[in-house]
Amino acid sequence: MNEFISAGLIGVSLGAQYALLALGFTLIFGILGVVNFAHGGFYVAGGYIAYGFVSHLGVPYVIAVLLATLATGAIGYLFELFLVERIVEDHLATLMLTLGLYLTMSTGVLVAFGPESPQFQFPISGSLQIGKFHLPIENIVVLSICLLAIATVYLLMYKTDFGRALRALADDRQVAAAQGLRPRLLFPLAFGVACGLAGLTGALVTPILSLAPHVGDPVLATSFLIVILGGLGSIGGATIAAFLVGLVEAYSSVYLGGSKGALALFVLVLIVLVVRPSGLFGREVRGA
Amino acid sequence: MKGTSQHFRKSAIGGLVLGLTGFLAGYAQAACELKLGVVGTLSGPAAQWGLALKGAVDLVAAEYNAEGGVPVGSEKCRVAVSAFDGKYTAEGAAAGANALVSQGVKFIIGPIGSPEMTGLKPIAARNNLLVMGNGYAKNAIGPQWPLVFHNGPGPSGWADPIVKVAKAKFGIKKVVVVAPNDQGGTDIASVDAVAYKNNGIEAIEEYYQRGTSNFQPIVTRIINMQPDAVDTASSPPGDTGTMAKQLRQAGFQGPIGHLGGPGTEEIARIAGGIDVLKTFYWYEPIVVDEKIQELAAAYKKAFNTDRPESNLFFQWVGAARMVVKAISKAGTITDTQKVAEALRSLPVEDPNLGKGLWIGQEFFGINQELSFPFGIGTIIDGKMQPIVKQPAATGK
């Protein structure tokens, strides 16, 4: 029973981190129709920017996380404004462009910081012991921030004019534009918010795992898997799928082992896609 | 006057011919270049190991070039190094080998890991390349690859003596050996597990998907097995550091081993310091004494920067020197068969690493594995202990 509860807690914690990543990924696809292959790069950039502020400039970790979020958001904003926007209608070109950005970012980090992992630790350490459980405090803090960030994204998307405008553009760009909404103004902002979410996750998660130039690779794969499972472009689908993946990963790894656990996850995704090819909550996201 | 003119013309032509001959001879001498290829992991979680390899080959090239080149027959050949990132993958190493072949490389130092060795060997066999590699896979070398050598013994050579020390120091009765689920993990973890079992320790093998970044679920599974120790075998330093941190956070108090490769400094950095590692034991390929430190000083002098962090650097210096010595002895920079024969006949000896052995016959079926004295590293109660020197592994 202890094992079961422990795996559940790990699954929720993983799910929250995955949700934060997947939300950014699905926002960009849902609103712009762009598959952002640079998403893992923004995760890595978030981690290294926070590390740079903390280790080289002595900035407190909390401020460094905020700065990393803003910096990655700004990079995303500028990238969309000056590069993606020109070819936003060409899906293949945007795919290659974002892939190129990812390679540039990861190589840039490699050149600037070297290939080895630096010492980047979460400022709070220790574990809460409840019976036989050991719950790392840093995981609880990261889980809380992730949940808060997810709630903020929901408020932004469903309770503000900005969110309503973005969702209108996602539903039907031409009709929304005819109503006076300006994609050239809103798309860079949406891209910036999504990249900021990836940067925030990187700044929060890399100190509790590890930071290295390559850590964006599995992030991209996981985000992609979650977004496909939840339904491309669906914010609610991505969130639910993220927690589902986190729980499946935790339970299958604990009870079946690391190899079979990974297999179980992919089999689950395969079954879901056979039964529902558009994902759990998928729909026609781009009417135009 | 005419005779003088003709004489002058003949002298001028003769001078030109002589000059041209001398120029061509000089050109031929300058053109003698020994290309050493390097295929190693230069990025990713195991980059530390690849950087050690590249740094070592760079140093050996610099040593010979400072002397005017490697004596090969009547010539002296300058040494050039061409490196390629194998990314710890079979396809990366195969791409690297192909790229080096296209550059005319006949000798490859590296690669680092079993997946890279697996990918590189077919390319090497097809192009008659001589390879001095370092995969710990069960088929890393063998009679079917007579031009492939091993720069140091794998766990078949050193796991048994380390397990004996760990058992005596920590009283281990049950261990979980955890590693990635590819050949680079399974071939090492299974040999480690046999070494534990041969020493009366119950060993359970546990594997994870390479690329895993959060080990909490696997750590939970391991803890539920209630082992006395966890051996991370050939898990890269990045993975081992995260696992060690999460094992300690989950309340695991026992020793953590890393019988697969060095990288303790990086492991400690990721885990949060050696006090977090608390009790730790590992295979150290080289014991750094005064003679070894001379290599670090030589590197600093040659490149004006510190030598690569991993102590595999020293082991690779010994291996690269052996290959270049064999090239010199064979008197050819193209005939790899002849160089391999020369290499097999060379005594294992290095001015800095000391005397060693050729081993591998018993485990691999071919005596092409270099074995120098090695060390056992331990951290006890969060304090680094002196590395204990062991004689060169015999592989028996």
The pLDDT tens digits of the residues spanning A158-199 come to: 999 999 999 898 888 888 888 888 888 899 999 999 999 999
List the one residue out of B85, B95, B75 whose CA is nearest residue B30. B75
State the pLDDT at residue B210: 84
Q: Show the DSSP H helices in A58-182 as ranges.
A: 61-82, 91-113, 137-159, 161-171, 173-178
pLDDT-based confidence at residue B14 (cuts at 50, 70, 90): low
Nearest CA distance, B250 vs chain A (angstrom): 5
State the pLDDT at residue B337: 97
Question: Taking a C-beta distance cutoff of 8 angstroms, is the pair B374, B392 a contact?
Answer: yes
Q: Output the six-digit token pair for B362.
A: 């018993």
How many beta carbons lie within 10 A of that of residue B365, not counting itself? Answer: 13
Across the range B203-215, mean pLDDT stands at 92
Q: What percent of chain B has pLDDT over 90?
A: 74
Q: Does B251 or B131 have the greater pLDDT score?
A: B131
pLDDT-based confidence at residue A56 (cuts at 50, 70, 90): very high
Nearest CA distance, A44 vs chain B (angstrom): 13
DSSP B307: P
Residue A248 has pLDDT above 50, yes or no: yes
pLDDT-based confidence at residue A283 (cuts at 50, 70, 90): low
Q: Does B1 or A269 have the greater pLDDT score?
A: A269
pLDDT-based confidence at residue A3 (cuts at 50, 70, 90): confident
Q: Does A232 or B75 have the greater pLDDT score?
A: B75
- Where are chain B's structural domains? 32-152+288-355, 156-284+377-390
Among B207, B241, B249, beta carbon nearest to A127? B249
Question: Taking a C-beta distance cutoff of 8 angstroms, is the pair A284, A33 a contact?
Answer: no
Q: Does B111 or B260 have the greater pLDDT score?
A: B111
Residue B27 has pLDDT above 50, yes or no: no
Contact flag B221-A257 (C-beta cutoff 8 Å): yes
Q: What are the Cα distances from residue A122, in Å, to A126, B44, B191, B237?
A: 10, 22, 36, 19
Is residue A262 within 8 angstroms of chain B, CB to CB? yes
Please tell me which residue of chain B has the smallest CA distance to A254: B221
State the pLDDT at residue B42: 86
Q: Output the six-digit token pair for A85.
A: 């926007």
The CATH number assigned to the domain with range A11-115+131-275 reads 1.10.3470
State the Cα–Cα distance between residues A38 and A118, nearest whole angstrom: 22
- The reply to whether B156-284+377-390 shares the fold of B32-152+288-355 is yes
Q: Output the six-digit token pair for B56.
A: 């070592």
Question: Taking a C-beta distance cutoff of 8 angstroms, is the pair B154, B136 a contact?
Answer: yes
Residue A249 has pLDDT above 50, yes or no: yes
State the Cα–Cα distance between residues A14 and A2, nearest whole angstrom: 18
State the Cα–Cα distance between residues A25 and A221, nearest whole angstrom: 11
**B contacts of A136 (beta carbons < 8 Å):** 246, 249
Mean pLDDT for all residues in chain B: 90
Nearest CA distance, B346 vs chain A (angstrom): 36
Residue B18 has pLDDT above 70, yes or no: no
Q: Does B91 or A183 have the greater pLDDT score?
A: B91
Residue B270 has pLDDT above 90, yes or no: yes
Nearest CA distance, A32 vs chain B (angstrom): 30
Q: Does B367 or A128 have the greater pLDDT score?
A: B367
Q: Output the six-digit token pair for A287.
A: 């009417």
State the pLDDT at residue B5: 52
SS3 content of chain B, % helix, strand, coil (to 5): 50, 20, 30
State the pLDDT at residue B396: 58
* Total CB pairs under 8 A between chain A and B: 111
List the one residue out of B105, B112, B102 whose CA is nearest residue B82. B105
State the pLDDT at residue A171: 84
Contacts 24+ apart (CB under 8 A), A218-222: A218/A40, A218/B211, A218/B212, A218/B213, A219/A21, A219/A39, A219/A40, A219/A43, A219/A44, A219/B213, A220/A37, A220/A39, A220/A40, A220/A102, A221/B211, A222/A18, A222/A21, A222/A22
The question of ipTM being above 0.90 is answered as no
Does the domain at B156-284+377-390 match CATH 3.40.50.720? Answer given as: no
Mean pLDDT for all residues in chain A: 89
Does the domain at B32-152+288-355 match CATH 3.40.50.2300? Answer given as: yes
State the pLDDT at residue B184: 80
Residue B17 has pLDDT above 70, yes or no: no
- Bridge pairing between strands A127-130 and B33-40: unpaired
Q: Output the six-digit token pair for A247.
A: 């729980």
Residue B203 has pLDDT above 80, yes or no: yes
State the Cα–Cα distance between residues B89 and B95, nearest whole angstrom: 10
Among B242, B249, B309, beta carbon nearest to A210? B242
Is residue A123 within 8 angstroms of chain B, CB to CB? no
How many beta carbons lie within 10 A of that of residue A161, not counting itself? Answer: 7
Contact flag B43-A110 (C-beta cutoff 8 Å): yes
Q: Output the six-digit token pair for B239.
A: 């993975």
